[in-house]
Structure 1
């Protein structure tokens, strides 16, 4: 009797779990991004050196002068490299105040001991992130914040970790958030609401252009800077569009993720006292996120519509005392969406609400952000220069450490770990590649400044023996 041969079982795409596929895609995106950035930086650096040599030749510098300028640049590069190798730790910061607490950690206003700059530090407990399956969300948040300079996204300065915690150090925006304004004003006139919703649209579009979906657009996550303009924050539910498409292809959202969203407790949000507080509720989430039919970037435009409704009416359109009831109202929005006549909204405002809070196939923005920009409600908005205009409300601040636009929290756990002795910790494979330093992204700075200084010398007409060399040596801070 011949032995029975068991056929080799291949692992098909359908046999791989969604979480495994998500981790693989995230790893792939990280490696590709890292390689692309290094390749781009190397190419840009070579171009700068070529331009520098050409400029020195045009200025007829001697070989000695060229070598001195080159050595000065390399010296500055080496000094910066030494500083970059220094590992950032929580001990590099001084705590000023706690302005947010949540299930995973806290947010503090801190002072950078080296630079003196006032910054916001988000501290997250690793064990909680792993236990509640938040690792990919943490990675997505860090990746979005570190991609590129964006005036509409809160600026990331550093990200690092120790044995127990993850840290995101960002610019501090002392104006609070959009909820701060809504709590103070209750209802905004349409012209003021137009300003805030227009800037939020541009902020969301900037995220979409990075091929991400925010998935958690709400007033709490729209921060106000010291000039009164908005910036997006809290990318903890953000997801890369490629991963969204993977999820849509299998038309599936597991029960745990659904429960996580519908019972989301507003991580790192301030305490609320008003009746329409939104904490713990899914008020701003589009119905397609709940109905397991798949979704795309238009879920963020639904959220924009809900925020706009809250601005001009005074409360979210699907508000209920229980999150589960809010979910049901959202799923049956065709019956539950009501715009009260007593709100006295203009026809354009009503039309904008109805064209944002609707089916995703008909929603404004499904064919591009220009659909929203061109709506009659935004007539007169200068989309290109809106950030240069004066905001309706500019926060009055009492110094750079003013936290009056945030709630205060008592310290229950010190910023510094109990173990004072500094030690090397074992690398956590869940958070490999998490470290980021903003100044590392400016590797071309020394060359660029050298080119600018040479151009300044050339235009000034100064060309005496060793003049450019002396000029650079006297302007070492330019590097």
Structure 2
């Protein structure tokens, strides 16, 4: 009896050591595959990479189909315009070949991996929480652009902080996420639900700043600004030294007020009809000479932009692009599909549109 027990215990220990091939029986009596253990499940990083790969592949083929459709539309549009014009068959053939050549150049340009190293950074014309805007010159062509460089790590970090802040204190979110709240309407801050009327409040705040020199509810602390906006009846005041006309004060007061009384709720015509705009010919606005025309000496002239302190660390940051760039990281997953290139945007320099193509043969359509 003891020997049988000893043999049975050895048999059970071997059976436990052997990988289990048992099948689970479901409630309806059918056999099914045993659910994987927690150790066999993919990690969150793997799931993120799978989702990013799926999104990348879907975007890739969607973009291919969209690009093909756009090429066909450009070809059809050109053929239609040529058919309506008095153009010889030889000229039609030459223009179509020219378009095909430019389409090929555009497809080659789309495959080009462009990075910050392809540009010569010049003057900084803008700076924000996530990056900077700088005038730059493309090294290969010499064309001048405005380049916005964003720090992905900073965007993700701040997004994470805001999420945690939301979870800790929802009430404070209205004060912490607005950034510059000088022009935000009180109904937005109080989360009462709002519509387009809040834009007319912003117009009143901007008008006040342009006439007085500073925002109507300015404070060094954003939270204090928000409190002033919510209690606007107490804090909306006009300094005597600004010398605002009665009509200007009236228009500002009718914009910075309760939403149900705010000018513009029935349409922009209410604001246009205000006495402060008397004499303005709205229909001829684009034909009128501007009150102030900025002086621009050349394409690199930045005298009309705000001056910013240069940060050498940002200027010398290496840009990792090309074949030596590391594979998709967890940070990059949040930015899959952000690349955008447009046929018409590079039109002026390399890829003439239909109008330019036709002008090459002096065809007037």
TM-score range relative to shorter protein = 0.5 to 0.7
Cα distance, 1:394–1:440 mapped onto 2, change above 3 Å: closer
Q: Which residue of 1 aligns with 2:42?
A: none
Aligned length: 293
Cα distance, 1:350–1:55 mapped onto 2, change above 3 Å: same
Aligned pairs for 1:135-284 (under 5 A) are: 254-255=170-171, 257-261=173-177, 264=179, 282-284=181-183
C-alpha offsets along residues 375-417 of structure 1, whole Å, 9 cap, x if unaligned? Answer: 2212222334434544333334554333344223132314354
Unaligned runs of 5+ in 1: 4-26, 135-252, 265-280, 460-479
Cα distance, 1:425–1:381 mapped onto 2, change above 3 Å: farther
| 1:119 maps to 2:162 | no
Deviation of the 1:421 alpha carbon: 7.1
Q: Which residue of 2 aligns with 1:77?
A: 103
CA distance in structure 2 between the aligned counterparts of 1:66 and 1:395, rounded to whole angstroms: 44
Deviation of the 1:437 alpha carbon: 2.9
Cα distance, 1:83–1:332 mapped onto 2, change above 3 Å: same
Deviation of the 1:76 alpha carbon: 2.4
| 1:418 maps to 2:324 | no
| 1:91 maps to 2:111 | no
Deviation of the 1:457 alpha carbon: 4.5
Aligned pairs for 1:404-443 (under 5 A) are: 404=303, 405-415=305-315, 417-418=317-318, 422=322, 423-427=324-328, 428-440=332-344
CA distance in structure 2 between the aligned counterparts of 1:35 and 1:335, rounded to whole angstroms: 58
Q: Which residue of 1 aligns with 2:356?
A: 449
Deviation of the 1:42 alpha carbon: 6.0
Deviation of the 1:332 alpha carbon: 1.4
Unaligned runs of 5+ in 2: 1-26, 28-54, 161-168
Cα distance, 1:133–1:358 mapped onto 2, change above 3 Å: same
The structure with the largest alpha-carbon Rg is 2
Which SS does the other structure have where 1:119 is aligned? strand
Deviation of the 1:74 alpha carbon: 1.4
Match among 357, 365, 390 for residue 264 of structure 2 = 365
Match among 125, 136, 157 for residue 110 of structure 1 = 136
CA distance in structure 1 between the aligned counterparts of 2:96 and 2:123, rounded to whole angstroms: 45
Runs of 4 or more, structure 1, over 6 Å off, are 33-40
Q: Which residue of 1 aligns with 2:9?
A: none
Query: Does the aligned pair in 2 maintain the 1:90–1:416 contact within 8 Å?
Result: no
Q: Which residue of 1 aligns with 2:24?
A: none
Q: Compute the RMSD of aligned alpha carbons.
A: 3.8
| 1:51 maps to 2:76 | no
Q: Which residue of 1 aligns with 2:158?
A: 132
